């Protein structure tokens, strides 16, 4: 399984960058996790839109879904140019009917996942847990042939995340805030909480994502390393994780 960071900013994209979006690949399969603002443009440096098999969304905040509409237009134009009728499935939990139904389009198909039942897409097995966030949001545990990536999506820290992330090869954890700050009201984690989570869950590697527009991101890494002694990286665009 291979994961490439397409966008890792929280809230809005910095110049020439994107908010939350990750490309998951295994053999011929290519899946997008979240599709934030700027993501469609940055994505095309790595793959073409017609190569994407499916999209899985964590929740309906703009920094995770803003480019869904652009993706639908891109899929439509691909249908017209290539003369096919392929509809790309976009999976999300159906907590918000109007947001969910907007995933349906002539070139895309809205599909609901039930968080307690998990989801299988091609070779990828997904498990979900609802996070602590103002809008319903789901962290994802994604496994293929014994390799596991856990993506926290947006959340403040809560104890059950530790069991959910247990033993992951890669933990992609949202670090919207720095040491000493309180993310519990907006529903986000600090670097310190990410480090503790990675240590308690005994993961192999920690990547910090959903990065803030203030402070020095290198401090996030140092703060997480106070608690987790494995590899800690910033999830910068183009960073890849791969285990075959
Ligand atoms: Zn959010
Ligand atoms: Zn977000």
Q: From ligand 1's centre to the CA of 80, what distance in Å?
A: 34
Contacts 24+ apart (CB under 8 A), 144-147: 144/1, 144/26, 145/1, 145/26, 147/1, 147/243
Q: From ligand 1's centre to the CA of 153, what distance in Å?
A: 8
**Of 164, 219, 173, 167, which Cα lies nearest the Cα of 195?**
173
* Structural domain boundaries enclosing 48: 2-236
Q: From ligand 2's centre to the CA of 60, what distance in Å?
A: 9
Q: From ligand 1's centre to the CA of 48, what distance in Å?
A: 27
Question: How many domains in the chain?
Answer: 1
Coil/strand/helix, residue 87: coil
Does some domain include residue 209? yes
Q: From ligand 2's centre to the CA of 157, what distance in Å?
A: 14
Q: Return the pLDDT at 244.
A: 85
Does some domain include residue 244? no
Ligand nearest to the CA of 37: 2
CATH number at residue 40: 3.60.15.10
Q: Return the pLDDT at 142.
A: 98
Q: From ligand 2's centre to the CA of 34, what distance in Å?
A: 10
d(CA 58, CA 130): 9
Round the average pLDDT of the chain to a whole number and report it: 98
According to DSSP, the residues that pair with 32 across neighbouring strands are 23, 55
Q: From ligand 2's centre to the CA of 82, what distance in Å?
A: 34
Does some domain include residue 242? no
Q: From ligand 2's centre to the CA of 64, what distance in Å?
A: 6
Per residue of the chain (244 residues), give pLDDT as tens: 999 999 999 999 999 999 999 999 999 999 999 999 999 999 999 999 999 999 999 999 999 999 999 999 999 999 999 989 999 999 999 999 999 999 999 999 999 999 999 999 999 999 999 999 999 999 999 999 999 999 999 999 999 999 999 999 999 999 999 999 999 999 999 999 999 999 999 999 999 999 999 999 999 999 999 999 999 999 999 999 999 8
Does some domain include residue 65? yes
Q: From ligand 2's centre to the CA of 154, what distance in Å?
A: 5
Q: From ligand 1's centre to the CA of 136, what distance in Å?
A: 9
Does some domain include residue 243? no
Does some domain include residue 42? yes
Q: Return the pLDDT at 57.
A: 98
Q: From ligand 2's centre to the CA of 53, what distance in Å?
A: 23
Does some domain include residue 71? yes
d(CA 138, CA 111): 15
């Amino acid at each position: 399984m291979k994961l490439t960071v397409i966008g890792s900013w929280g809230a809005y994209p910095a110049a020439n960058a994107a908010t939350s979006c990750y490309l998951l690949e295994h053999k011929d399969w290519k899946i997008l996790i979240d599709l934030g603002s700027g993501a469609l443009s940055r994505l095309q440096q790595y793959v073409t839109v017609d190569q994407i098999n499916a999209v899985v969304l964590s929740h309906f905040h703009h920094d995770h879904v803003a480019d869904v509409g652009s993706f639908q237009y891109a899929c439509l134009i691909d249908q017209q140019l290539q003369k096919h009728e392929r509809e790309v499935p976009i999976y999300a939990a159906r907590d918000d009917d109007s947001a969910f139904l907007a995933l349906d389009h002539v070139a895309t198909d809205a599909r609901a996942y039930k968080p307690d039942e998990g989801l299988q897409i091609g070779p990828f097995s997904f498990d979900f847990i609802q996070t602590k966030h103002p809008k319903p949001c789901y962290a994802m545990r994604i496994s293929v042939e014994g390799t596991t990536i856990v993506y926290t999506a947006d959340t403040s820290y809560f104890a059950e995340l530790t069991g959910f992330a247990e033993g992951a090869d890669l933990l992609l954890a949202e670090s919207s805030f720095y040491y000493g700050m309180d993310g519990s009201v907006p529903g986000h984690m600090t670097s310190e909480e990410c480090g503790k989570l990675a240590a308690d869950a005994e993961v192999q590697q920690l990547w910090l994502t959903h990065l803030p527009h203030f402070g020095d991101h290198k401090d996030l890494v140092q703060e997480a390393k106070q608690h987790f002694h494995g590899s800690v990286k910033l999830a910068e665009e183009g960073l890849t994780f791969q285990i075959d």
